[in-house]
Structure formats: C-alpha cells, structure tokens
Structure 1
C-alpha cells in the first residue's frame, strides 16, 4: 500500500506539482487559508477529486475554521475525501485515525490549552494504528520553525504516541519542521508543503511517499 503525504497547502493546492503515484492520499490539514470562505473548500474538494488515488483522507487544521464553526456545511462540501476529526477509518485492512487539534496559539480553530485538556483528544487514539494523522506535531519531533527555535509540539501527544506507537505519524502545522524522523517503530513525517514564508519547499514541496 503506497501512501502520499502532504499538509499545509493553505489554499495553494492548484499550484502543487503532479503528485507521486500512490493508493491513498493523506492531507494533514490547513488546506484553507483564511478559513471562512466556502469557496476555499469547494476548490480544495475539486482538486482532491482530480487526484488519481483510490482513497483520499483529510484532517482539518487551525486554518480550516469553517470545519469548526459550520461543521455540517463544511463536511458536506468535502465529498471527495474521508474527513477525520477525532475519528478513524480502515482501508484495505490499514487503520487510520485523525485529529485537527493543536495547542492554543492566537485565535485559530481546533485548539486546546496546553496540559491535561489535550487528553480529551489524545486518549481517543486507538492502539495498533497503522497511520496517525494529526495537524500538529508531538513535542520535540519536527516541531521547530527553525533549527535553533523553541519546540512547539504537544507534550501530551508525545506521551500518547510513545504509549501507543503507530507505524506512521503524519502531521504539519509547523512549516519549518518539514521532514522525516524515525523513533522506535514509528516513522514521523512533517509533510508541510509550504515553508515559513508560505512558499513551496524545494524539491517538490517536500511531498512524501511511504509504503505500508
């Protein structure tokens, strides 16, 4: 099973180069930019439908405000993807679980105060997952805007991932942390397409391909 991973396109999905071939496309959130305009979802949904994958999995992010403020409307517009929000799905025997929530920062969507409040989301992560999709990173793993910057990931998410290690944990949110890291039996992927200046990384926007 080949999975293509991407995150943080922020409304620039039509500028993404042709994606690598695969069976499942996973987008880990922030596909919108301002986050309120339904046309952003309509455009993203059209783009999703144009991608030649048998399945497309989508998790929200802090910019995807319509999915928090008008969830029924937003979800109805995302007809070309399986939307995960503290929920999971199984495809061809492979398990996926996704959540858009991240630690509080300014006044965006899907946020919680740092500390025990995070466990309302992370306690729900199932055991023996193949792919965990969260918008934000765990603390200390691919979670810096620059190599000398502070770690911005979630401490509680890190604890949960270490207790219930998935085969793959894909996220974005912290654009400068884009890359891959292995720890134990888990492959961590920050799949942010845009850098901290909201311009595509090179080459090919750090689009990642993994085989399960």
Structure 2
C-alpha cells in the first residue's frame, strides 16, 4: 500500500496582479505562497491576493513575505516609511489584513512549524522570508551572514519535512538553473545550500528569481551530512529533473531525495506566464 500523500499547490512572486483565478486552480491540501505578494508593499496591493488566496480550495493556506513586501518587514518599514511618504502604522495594518479568522490565511514568520490536517496527516516546516541584501529591499541579510546555520537565531533544523524560503539556494551543479537570472548570473545563497545539505528536507520551495521557474530533484549519495565537500572529486549528490506521478503532480519525499521548487509566477518582464506547481509529498514522516 502506498504511503498517504499531502498535496501542495506552490506559487511565488505574484506581485499584486499575478495570482491566478482560484476557479482555475485544482484542489490541494496546502496552498503555499513563497513571497512577493506585492510590488512595493502597498496595502491596496495585498487586497486582491488575499481575496484570491482566501477563495482557493485548500485546507491550509500558508504565506511568507518576500523582499518586495516592504510593509511586512517591521525593521525595514520603521527605517523607511517616511521616504515612502506612508503611514508608520502600515506595518501593523498590513499584518492585520491576513487575520486568520476572516481570511483563513496564515502569515508565517521565520521559524519552525508543525501543521496537522483534519484527517491527522501532518508535516513539519521551516520558513524564512529573508534573502541576501540587494538594493535595500526588505527582509535582507548581509553577504557574510549565515542566516540558516546551526548557530543562527532561527536555524533550519535537521529532520524538517518542508523548507520554504523566498530566495533560492546556490547549488554547485552544471544542470542547476533555479537561481539563474537573465544575464546568466547565479544569485542563489551558498549558505542556504549548506543548510539544505546539512538538513536534507524532502521539499524546498522558493521563488525570487523569476527566470528560474521549475523544479529539480537532489539525490543524496550517502547519509553523511558534513557541510564541506571541497576535497571530494565531485559533489556528494546527483541532480536530475523532477519526477511526476500518475496524477501529473511532482513527487517529493522519496528516501534520500530533496525536491527543489522555484514557483515564481511572474517572468522577468513581470508577466504572469508561469503556472503554480503541484507537489505530492509522501507523508511517511507524518504522525498518522
């Protein structure tokens, strides 16, 4: 008998106008938005996304902010709200728009969570809206900061099922493109990749790099999770195209694998050309 699965509908970078019509989306157990709901965090920009997300057919609707969602970053907004000629209270007002009782949406801060569906399928999740500093956008960390390592304030824990970050990791492999921008540069975070290698989640979802839409499967060659492989002849993992099941959904959760998903809806011209990605996560680690 096949293990039960949890179906995720994953999307990111809808930027105010790009959230799909809920009537066109399939039912899922969990809808997961990986950030950049808006262009610049204006309160009016959140409204259509919240309305459409609320109307989606899913038991759980989970959201993290991205670097464009300026008003959701309290530290950023405190420093810059006068420059934006906006109300200092817009941070609190923006967060209040995601009130769970009225929207059914959970806005997640950086940290660890456990979610249990009504039928008791469950999964653990780590989330972070932070990306490497770029042009003074929100939720930024410095180039020398290890945001996700064991000594961080909110490290990614070993054994977590799902990792959700706004930005992608920098995976050292010739066939990896999920962090590649139009100019050909790779802008993913190396310390995030180090944390993914250390913790080996079954699913890692992100966006941020519009040109990097797609999915790749990492197959770990051993159980060793040491963070340095500089002396190895080749990386201790294989990278391949993601596998689809009979339903057409991407498959995550196979033993010894991590599925990497860039679900950016907007392309590099800010046209909503990409579709949300459907992922079936085997719930073998769930408490059933």
TM-score of the superposition, structure 2-length normalised? 0.67
Higher fraction of helix: 1
Q: What do the CA deviations read for 1:152-207 (whole angstroms, capped 9, x no partner)? A: 00111000010001110000000000100111210000000011011122xxx231
User: Which structure: larger Rg?
Assistant: 2
1:208 aligns with 2:214: no
Q: Which residue of 1 aligns with 2:180?
A: 144
The aligned residue for residue 66 of structure 1 is 71
State the partner residue of 2:249.
Answer: none
Which residue pairs with 1:75 in the alignment?
Answer: 95
1 CA distance for matches of 2:21 and 2:265?
A: 8
Q: Number of aligned pairs? A: 207
For 1:53 and 1:134, how far apart are their aligned partners in 2?
Answer: 21
**Alpha carbons 1:178, 1:206 under 8 Å: kept:** no
Name the CA shift for 1:162/1:6 in 2 (closer, same or farther; >3 Å). same
Corresponding residue for residue 40 of structure 1: 45
State which of 194, 201, 212 in structure 2 corresponds to 1:166: 201
Instruction: Say if 1:4 and 1:25, in contact at 8 Å, map to a contact too.
Output: yes
The equivalent of 2:192 in structure 1 is 157
Q: Which runs of 4+ in 1 moved over 3 A?
A: 13-17, 119-123
Scaled by the length of structure 1, the TM-score of the pair is: 0.90
**Structure 1 contact 90–96 (Cα < 8 Å) conserved:** yes
Q: Distance in 2 between matches of 1:114 and 1:50?
A: 39
Structure 1 counterpart of 2:16, from 11, 14, 17: 11
User: Residue 115 of structure 1 contacts residue 156 of structure 1 at CA under 8 Å; is this kept in 2?
Assistant: no
**Aligned partners of 1:88, 1:82: CA distance in 2, in Å?**
14
Q: Is contact 2:18–2:265 with CA below 8 Å preserved after alignment? A: no
**Aligned equivalents of 2:164, 2:218: Cα separation in 1:** 17
Structure 1 CA distance for aligned equivalents of residues 66 and 185 of structure 2: 21
In structure 2, C-alpha distance between the alignment counterparts of 1:118 and 1:78, rounded to whole Å: 26
